[in-house]
Structure 1
Amino acid sequence: MLHSMSTTVEPASDRSADEVNEEIRALWHRSGGTLNGEQREEYRRLVLEWASASPRQVRAA
């Protein structure tokens, strides 16, 4: 079964990347390493939030 992820950008988080990462870790811990459908959706939302909260790396030209 194939799953697709939305490419819609969600608003920037008020939380730091570290805070969101802790919630992601807690989700995985609670799930025992296997996410059900509802947990997968929460994980997707958290990863997008984490990405928007993470500092951007600047590459030299």
Structure 2
Amino acid sequence: MPETPEVPRPTAAELNQQIRELAATGRLPAAGAEYQRLVVAWAEALRAEQELAA
């Protein structure tokens, strides 16, 4: 079975920028689900980066 290439994940900084851009649009709370998805992904990325640094 061929290996599935790993899709690069955005960094915490990239996700933070996406969160800031979404907030700047003034679409919140209409974009609340997207905001929540980004915040969860940001927290996971931040945790992973901290584990690598330790």
The answer, yes or no, to whether TM exceeds 0.5 is yes
SS across alignment from 1:53: helix
From 6, 30, 40, the counterpart of 2:32: 40
Q: Which runs of 4+ in 1 moved over 2 A?
A: none
| C-alpha distance in 2 between matches for 1:22 and 1:56 | 18
Gaps of 5+ in 2: 1-7
Q: Percent of pairs identical after alignment?
A: 36
Gaps of 5+ in 1: 1-12
Aligned residues: 42
More helix by share: 2
Q: CA RMSD in A?
A: 1.9
| C-alpha distance in 2 between matches for 1:43 and 1:22 | 12
| C-alpha distance in 1 between matches for 2:44 and 2:22 | 19
